[in-house]
Structure formats: C-alpha cells, structure tokens
Structure 1
C-alpha cells in the first residue's frame, strides 16, 4: 500500500523554458535505463520476492522502488516545466484561425524545430512515457529473474548506466531547471549503486575500487558537489510508515564508493518541497475549462466540502 504526500522529493530551480533539454530528459524518464524502468523493475522484484529469511533484501528493493516513484514524478514535472513556455496567442477573437499572434508569432511554431514534436501534438507541453527519440516505454525492459544475486547485479548495472546517461544529459544543457533535477538524480543513483553494491558485498562480492560508475569527479558538476557534500549519496530512505523495514541491516557501514562516508538508512523519507500546479496553457486548450465548467467544478467542490463537514451520526433525542 502506498501513500502520497503532495510534495516533490527535490526542488526544481526556475529558469527559461528549454524544449531541447526536455527532449533529452525524456531519455532519463522513459528510456531503457530511465526512471520508469527502475521504478517498475524494483517494485516487481519486491512483489515477486521469495524467501522470508531474505526480508532485508526485499525491504531494500521495496524502499528504492518506492523512491523511484517520486523520481518519475520529479523528472516528469521538470520536463513539463521545460516545455511550458510557448508564446501565447494574443490576436483578436475575431481573427481567422491562421492569423499569427502579436508580433507575427505563431504560438506553437517552436515545436516544429524540436526533436520530439509529440510534446506539443499529444501532450499539451508535458512529459510522455517515451525516450528521447519518441519510442514508447516498454514493459519488456523490466528484469526480474527471481534469483537474488542476478537481480542485484542487474540493478547495479541499471543504476550505473542511468547515472552515466544523466551525466551526459547534464553536459548537454546549462539550463538551471534541467540541471537541478539531473544533479539530484545523479547523486541518488549513486546512493542506489551503493545500496546494491553493499547488498552484493553481503553475498561475497568485493568491489575494490570499481565504484562509483561513472567516476564523475563531483567537483566538475557544482550542483552535484553540493548534494555530495550533504552526504546524499550515502542515504537510503525506507518509505515505511510502521518501522518494519529491515533494509538498514544491509545499508550500513562504509560506502562501497570509497568516499569516506558511512551508509545511513535511518530516515523514513526526505522532507521534500512544495508541489505546485502549472498555469493554464490556452494555446494548447489545457485544461480547456470555460466559465460554465469552472462554475460547475466550484459547485461540486462546495458540495463535497459541505458533505465532509457533516457528522457521521446525527444526534438523537430521548423521550
């Protein structure tokens, strides 16, 4: 059972719209090594887990899989914000449909110069479950062999490859909105590398000096360095309301990344940041609510609030 807190797991820094950066970020969302893949793979592995004595490993998979849900939310929201910026139509209501907006600007003409035109055709300037080339996400990406060692090895490869790709995306853009999310995911991918590496160490694997993959030299990415300095690469959250997770039995000791930090699994969840709803986009007819529909929504909301305020049991009188 999962509960949702209406907060983003990390802050998204405001900057100018950048459809090209949004297109690149789609790989980190719906690509073969993106956040949708990690979310589904770890959750399916935890759902299908066998062997009660291996509960700490199941709890580790479940905790990381739950965090990946928030990563899907974070990167999807970031893509939407990077796309949210086509010029509004400022012509007159009586203008013909083909009349450009103020200054001769056609509202959605910037879409024609971008690699993923689907963002504007079918998604109303929002994220899609596709990769950077527009290929739809596939459930065939999910690896769940049932063998714990194989699954952990595959998960470590998945986190390392995802981190490698995000480092490349970071170097494709200097947009602050994109980099704030990319940097956070780079660091959290390293935390998950550490988690799976530590789990494999408990099963006899010696990593030596192999991790992290790739060795990014954190000081090269200033946004990443700030998070590394906070030790975020060595934390793993349980997302467990009842204190039943045993993942901390695995995620402990010195970090496999050999950075001098200790692994810490004592926190339930990060505090997060406020989550806001994006403004309307009239040129995309999104959400497409006219005054009559808005009035109906308000009336429905008022009715539901009034119903919620009523007592469950009406008082009775005794004669």
Structure 2
C-alpha cells in the first residue's frame, strides 16, 4: 500500500513565472531519463522481484521507487508554479472572455511564441507527461530484465544520466523556483547513485574513483552545496510504515562517492515541506468551484458527518 502525506518532499522556492524554465524541467519529468521513468522502472522491478533471500535488494529498489513518486509530484508542481500566472492576466469574472490582459495583450498571447504551447493549449498552465520537446512519456523506457546485477547497473546509469541532465538544466536558468527543485534532485540523484553503487559493491564491484557521475564542483551551485552540507547525498529513506525494510543491510558503510560521508538508511522519510494549491486561472477557463458547487460540497460534507456522528457519536474538530 502507498500513503500520501500532504507535504512536498522538499520546499518549492518562490520566484517569478518562467515558462521557458518550465519546459526545460519537462525533460526531468517526462523525458527518457526523467522522474516518471525512474518511478515506473523501480516500482516494476520491485513488483517483479524474485528470490526471498535477496529481499534487502528488493526493499532498496522499492524504497527508492517510492521516493521517486514524490519526485514526480515535486518537479511536476514546480513546473506548474513556473507556468502559473505567466501571461500576467488580471481579468475578473465579470470581464468579457476576450478582454486584453496586462499591457493590452490577449490573455494567452505568450503561448504562441514562448516555450511549449501545449502548456497553455492542453495543460491549463500545468505540467504534462512529456519531455522538453513535447514527446509523450513512453512505457517502453522502463527496463526490468529480471537479472539483479543487470538491473542495478541499469539503475545506476539511469540515475547518473538524470543527474547529468539536471546539472545542465540548472545552468540553463537562474530562476530560483527552478533551481531550488533541480538542486534538490541533483543531490537525491547522487544518493540513489550511492545506493545502487553500494548494492553492486556487495556483489563484487569496486568503483574506486568513478563516482559521482557527472563529476561536478557542487560548491559552485549554492543550493546544491547547502544540501550536501546536510549530508542529503548519503541518506536513503525506507518509506516503510511497517518497519520491515531490509534496505539498511545494503545502504551502510562508506559512501561510494568517496566524499568522506557514511551512508545512513535509518530514517523512514524526510520531514517534507508545506504544500499549497495554486490560485484559479480565469484565462484558462479553470476557475475552480462556483458558489453552487461549494454549497453542494458543504451539504454533502454535513450529511456524511451526521452519518458518522450517528454511528460513532459526536466527533471533535
């Protein structure tokens, strides 16, 4: 089972709308080496895993796959934040639908010459399951050979390539919203590199000075350095409510990145950051709930509450 906590796994920094940065981040979401791919690949490997004696490896892959669900939420929400309000439309519900927005421009004119038109035409200023070129995410990206060493090697390659691309995306923009999320994912990709590298070490691989991939002067990225100083590259979470994960049998000892840190799998999950829902977008005909719908929802909630009170007794709020 999976449970959802209504917090983001990391804070999303404040910043101005930036549709070009949003489109670059689409590669990190729906690209061949993006977060949707890592999520699906690891979960399928965990579901199809065979061999009870190798349970620690299954638990490690499953824990990382579960974290990747939260990465999909984080980067997808960041893309939405970078798009939200980018036309600077200031219309009101009483305005004509074709009234010009700020500066005399039509409300969605920006969609014709900036970034990905589908963000406005299809997605209502939200993230899409596509790469930066607009190609839809494909299940054919998922690799699950059934051979443990081969899958671990492939997973390490996937994390390394994803980290490489995110380092490049970081250099493409100075938007603090984009950089904050990308920096977090760069560091967590390194943690996952370490996880799969350590698993392969237990199978006889000696990495020597190969990792991390790519080799970067992380201190040149201030958001990355801040997270590295917290040791986030050497933590792995179990996301296991039952306390049965055996991933810590693998994710322990000196980091394969040879950065002087020790791997730590003792935490169930990170603390997370408060999440919030974006404002309505009138120019996208996505206004949220009108008065009648709100009244209906309130009436339904009161009916359900009365049924609960009738069965369990009065509830407290």
TM range (shorter): over 0.9
Q: Deviations over 1:91-132 (max 9, x none)?
A: 79474x544235412111111122311110111111010000
For residues 21 and 94 of structure 1, the distance between their equivalents in structure 2, rounded to whole angstroms, comes to 31
Could you say what the CA RMSD is over the residues aligned between the two structures, in angstroms? Answer: 1.6
Query: Deviation at 1:275?
Result: 1.2
Query: Deviation at 1:219?
Result: 0.7
Query: Deviation at 1:301?
Result: 2.5
Counterpart for residue 213 of structure 2: 213
Where do 5+ consecutive residues of structure 2 fail to align? Answer: none
For residues 203 and 231 of structure 2, the distance between their equivalents in structure 1, rounded to whole angstroms, comes to 25
Contact 1:91/1:101 (<8 A) preserved: no
Contact 1:23/1:115 (<8 A) preserved: yes
Query: Deviation at 1:300?
Result: 1.9
Q: Quickly say closer, same or farther: Cα 1:102–1:5, change in 2 above 3 A.
A: closer
Kindly indicate whether residue 119 of structure 2 is the aligned counterpart of residue 116 of structure 1: no
Aligned residue-pair number: 313
Secondary structure class of the residue paired with 2:237: coil
Aligned ranges for residues 281-292 of structure 1 at < 5 Å? 281-292=281-292
Aligned ranges for residues 128-167 of structure 1 at < 5 Å? 128-167=128-167
Counterpart for residue 90 of structure 1: 91
Secondary structure class of the residue paired with 2:129: coil
Q: Deviations over 1:167-200 (max 9, x none)?
A: 0000000001001100000000000000000000
Query: Deviation at 1:286?
Result: 1.2
Counterpart for residue 63 of structure 1: 63
For residues 237 and 94 of structure 1, the distance between their equivalents in structure 2, rounded to whole angstroms, comes to 50
Contact 1:237/1:268 (<8 A) preserved: yes
Where do 5+ consecutive residues of structure 1 fail to align? Answer: 315-319
Counterpart for residue 44 of structure 2: 44
Counterpart for residue 317 of structure 1: none
Query: Deviation at 1:89?
Result: 4.6
Q: Quickly say closer, same or farther: Cα 1:8–1:92, change in 2 above 3 A.
A: closer
Contact 2:38/2:68 (<8 A) preserved: yes
For residues 44 and 102 of structure 1, the distance between their equivalents in structure 2, rounded to whole angstroms, comes to 47
For residues 312 and 297 of structure 1, the distance between their equivalents in structure 2, rounded to whole angstroms, comes to 22
- Relative to the length of structure 2, the TM-score reads 0.95
Counterpart for residue 238 of structure 1: 238
For residues 233 and 259 of structure 2, the distance between their equivalents in structure 1, rounded to whole angstroms, comes to 10
For residues 234 and 258 of structure 2, the distance between their equivalents in structure 1, rounded to whole angstroms, comes to 11
Counterpart for residue 5 of structure 1: 5
Q: Quickly say closer, same or farther: Cα 1:197–1:281, change in 2 above 3 A.
A: same
Query: Deviation at 1:133?
Result: 0.6
- Relative to the length of structure 1, the TM-score reads 0.94
Q: Which runs of 4+ in 1 moved over 6 A?
A: none
